[in-house]
Amino acid sequence: MIKNNPFKIQEGQIRDSKVGGFIKQKKSGDYLDFGLVDKTQQLGRFFEDKKIRWLFLIFFICLFILFGRAFYLQAIKGEYFRNIAEGNRIKSDVIKANRGLMYDRFGDLLVKNISYFFLYLDKDIFPEDELAKQDLFNKLSNILDISKDELENNIYNEENKSTKILMYENLPYDLAMRLIILSESQPSIDVAYEPRREYFNYLGLSHAMGYLGAVTEDDIANRRYNYYDRIGKTGLELMYENSIKGQDGIRQIEVDALFREKNILSMIEPIDGSDLVLTVDAKAQAKLFEIMQKNAELYDNPKMAAVILDPKDGGVLAMVSLPSYDNNIFTTLLNDEEYGEIVANENLPLLNRTISGTYPMGSIFKAVVSAAALEEKLINSSFTVNSTGGVQIGSSFFPDWRSGGHGLTNIYWAIADSVNTFFYSIGGGNNEWLSLGLGSDKIIEYSRKFGLGKLTGIDLNSEVDGFLPSKEWKEATFDERWYLGDTYNLSIGQGYLLSTPLQAATMMSYFANDGHVYEPHFIKESKVGDNTTVFKPKTLLTNIIASDNLNTIKRGLRMTITDGTAQSLQSVTVDVAGKTGTAQFNRNKTPHSWMAAFAPYEDAKIVTTVLVEEGGDRGLAVTITREFMEWYFSQ
């Protein structure tokens, strides 16, 4: 029964003959078939040890790369990608600050800010679908009445480095409303309401005020400005840019996945720029401009310059340069046609002739030569020269402007009637009257003392310093020595000497204000809210000559009006003093016309200098001065 029990383990001998390979008397575990050993195989490993090591190495490398990338994205670049994510959720809008205003000395407005609608397109959020994008362009083309090609050229212009493209300035109200409605379904459209400058053309202040222009890449890189900001390019707009530009505000808006505005998250209010109060008298400025324009048209002399100073502090009351130009064309996207007309004008309307134009001074320079001769004790008020029509030096003749001469002449009459012979003699010498004159070096020395040949320091850009010649300069430039005739020409303000009208005005201010000249300037005070900063005038010239000598010249300047070359100014209700000048610059062209004056004589309130290019000897500069002073002192 044992063999029928499957759960019984039989130990010892196997006695069942049915078991294959059974051999009687064989006991379990005591037999080994070596032949069978050769025919069998052992169970080996699926991978070898070397392969396992490589698999583990690759696994750990992948794990390291995975964790390294995760660390880079979260720890190192986490802030960057967080900002991108926030950028998709939050839109930042710049709120333009109002540029500071400018007022005249009496509080009258000289420039104002006008807000207009502006159309911007954001390329980054254009519809991704090409058909939707073209549909947007078609709608914009119809509303703006411009071709689709022109629209796309403006958008994809390589010069547009900002993703936000300014497409249209000064949008009409009806177009702006239509675009605002369209922007509800097209987030890439942004209609903004921004301020722009508006200048008053009737004032003739375009050169002094200057204009605004587009920012440069450097301005944007320094993070002081944004694309499409306007920055002062010339004049007071440039010189006081940092004060009047203000600080833009920022509004952060939460948007949805379609960039539609949902909530305002934060807002930083803009800070308006400082207001400037100028020394300008707006009524005097407008009147001077009117008088000059009238005479320019009447006598066909389009190129003029004039400046009116307050000798008590150097403040500029009025400044006009003709021809003028409309600086409003620069307040928006520049019209190439209008700008081209200005640039192509042969009369150079962009040139501010009062500070950038240089001219021989003519006879108004005789005040400087007189001061030098008196101060150097070369002459006194009693010294006289007999003018008979000119001076002969070798084969050269140096004439008086009166062909028959001016007769016996002292310094008063020399100034009043502009007697050339007198100044030839004290400047270069004359064997009949003076063996030696001042000489060119001494004349140039006093010219510098009176502020010629150097900048006045006025708060405008592009001022030039004029030119004072020298013997060394002439030899180096023309390979020619300095002659006595050069000194004669210099003595009467001719030859190589060059000055700006403003320099002539500061020179005349010395005599008007009894020996004290302030640096010419436009700024009177600046205002930020309730805080006012008052400008303090700076001294420019003082103590050049003794007071007795100054009074001698001043008396001669008064005689110019009472008995000399500018007697028409006697019609002014106050006493006027001054000096006329006619300056040759080209033998084939009409000479320039000058008039530098001040009034009232005893206590000057204004100093005027008028230059008329190629005005000739008909007294046009005197006429303009007279008409202005008659009006000014009748107010």
- pLDDT at position 606 is 98
Note the pLDDT of residue 52. 77
Q: Which CATH class is domain 289-632?
A: alpha beta
* pLDDT for residue 266: 79
Nearest CA among 167, 159, 187, 182 for reference residue 117: 167
Q: What gap in Å lies between CA 220 and CA 212, rounded to an integer?
A: 16
CA distance 209 to 235: 5
The vertex-123 CA angle with 119 and 124, nearest 5°, equals 130
14 pLDDT higher than 60:
no
Tally Cβ neighbours within 10 Å of residue 496.
16
The whole-number pLDDT of residue 172 equals 87
What are φ and ψ of residue 180, in 5° steps? -65, -40
The position carrying tokens 């480095």 is: 161
Across 118-132, 286-300, 432-446, which has the greatest mean pLDDT? 286-300
Question: What is the pTM for the complete model shown?
Answer: 0.82
**β-pair type (212-214, 577-583):** unpaired
Residue 285 predicted with pLDDT over 80: yes
pLDDT of 233: 93
Which helix (DSSP H) or strand (DSSP E) does residue 402 occupy?
A: none
In angstroms, the CA 261 to CA 364 distance is: 69
Residue 529 corresponds to which tokens in the numbers above? 């809210």
pLDDT tens string 88-98: 567 677 888 88
Q: Residue 113's closest CA among 325, 337, 270?
A: 270
Among 20-29, 59-68, 194-203, 439-448, where is mean pLDDT lowest? 20-29
- Which of 327, 322, 270 has its CA nearest to residue 296? 322
77 pLDDT above the threshold of 80: no
Tell me if 580 sits within 8 A of 619, measured CB to CB.
yes
**Rounded to whole angstroms, what are the CA distances from 169 to 201, 255, 331?**
21, 26, 10
Q: What pLDDT was estimated at residue 261?
A: 67
Question: Pick the residue with more confidence: 137 or 357?
Answer: 357
Which of 511, 512, 502 has its CA nearest to residue 456? 502
Q: What burial letters (b/e) apply to 539-567, b meaning 16+ CB within 10 Å?
A: ebbeebbeeebbebbbbbbbbbbeebbbe
How sure is the predictor about 10, in pLDDT bands with cuts at 50, 70 and 90? low
Check whether 607 has a pLDDT greater than 90: yes
Sequence-separated contacts (24+) of 631-634 with Cβ below 8 Å: 631/287, 631/291, 632/284, 632/287, 632/606, 633/572, 633/573, 633/574, 633/599, 634/573
Give the pLDDT confidence of 495-553 residue by residue, as tens digits: 999 999 999 999 999 999 999 999 999 999 999 888 899 999 999 999 999 999 999 99
CA-closest candidate to residue 304, choices 352, 365, 237 = 352
Mind listing the pLDDT tens digit for each residue in 331-352?
A: 776 677 788 888 899 999 999 9
The pLDDT score that the predictor gives to residue 89 is 63
Superfamily of domain 93-278: Penicillin-binding protein 2a (Domain 2) (3.90.1310.10)
Q: Give the integer Cα–Cα distance in Å for 379 and 147.
A: 79
Checking if the pLDDT of 596 tops 60, the result is yes
State the DSSP H helix or E strand holding residue 321, giving kind and residue range, or none if neither: strand 315-322
pLDDT at 235: 96
* Entry field: residues in the chain: 635
The CA distance from 210 to 219, in Å, is 19
Number of continuous H segments (helices) and E segments (strands) in the chain: 22, 23
- What does the alpha-carbon distance between residue 235 and residue 352 come to, in Å, rounded to a whole number? 10
Closest C-alpha to 404, from 394, 414, 382, 419: 419
Q: pLDDT tens digits for 446-472?
A: 999 999 999 999 999 999 999 999 999
Question: What count of other Cβ atoms lies within 10 Å of the Cβ of residue 68?
Answer: 10
Residue 358: pLDDT band (50, 70, 90) is very high
Average pLDDT over residues 386-403: 91
Model confidence at 45, in pLDDT bands (50, 70, 90)? low
Classify residue 126 as left (phi > 0), alpha (psi -120 to 50) or beta: beta
Handedness of CA 416, 417, 420, 424 (dihedral sign): negative
| pLDDT of the residue at 126 | 82
Predicted local distance difference test score (pLDDT) of residue 250: 85
The CA distance from 597 to 595, in Å, is 6
* Residue where the block lists tokens 């320079």: 365
CA separation for the pair 416, 402 (Å, rounded): 13
What is the DSSP secondary structure assignment for residue 274, as one 8-state letter? P
d(CA 594, CA 628): 15
Cα Rg, the chain, nearest whole Å:
45
Alpha carbons 570 and 585: distance in angstroms, whole number: 30
Q: Band of the pLDDT at 257, cuts 50, 70, 90?
A: low
What are the residue ranges of helices labelled H in 185-262?
Answer: 206-209, 217-221, 235-239, 241-244
Burial of 152 (0-12, 13-18, 19+ CB in 10 A): middle
**In percent, how much of the chain has pLDDT > 70?**
88
User: Out of 14-18, 108-112, 586-590, which region has the weakest mean confidence (pLDDT)?
Assistant: 14-18
> pLDDT tens, 182-201?
888 888 888 888 888 999 99
Torsion of CA 10, 15, 20, 23, to 10 degrees: 120
* Averaged pLDDT of the chain: 87
Structure confidence at residue 431 as a pLDDT band (50, 70, 90): confident
pLDDT at 40: 52
Q: How many CA atoms lie within 13 A of 269 on its CB side?
A: 3
Most confident by average pLDDT, 37-41, 129-133, 498-502, 617-621: 498-502
Give backbone dihedrals phi and psi of 149, rounded to 5 degrees, phi first: -65, -45
Q: pLDDT tens, 201-241?
A: 999 999 999 999 888 888 877 767 887 888 999 999 999 99
CB 437 within 8 A of CB 428: yes
Decide: 110 and 102 in contact? Cβ < 8 Å: yes
In the chain, where the domains are located? 93-278, 289-632
Percent of the chain with pLDDT strictly greater than 90: 57
pLDDT tens per residue, range 468-486: 999 999 999 999 999 999 9
Q: Cβ–Cβ contacts within 10 Å for residue 589, how many?
A: 11
Query: Out of 44-48, 109-113, 339-343, which region has the weakest mean confidence (pLDDT)?
Result: 44-48
Over residues 141-165, the mean pLDDT reads 80
User: Do the beta carbons of residue 143 and residue 168 sit within 8 Å?
Assistant: no
pLDDT of amino acid 25: 53
Angle between helices 173-183 and 130-144 in degrees, nearest 10 = 160
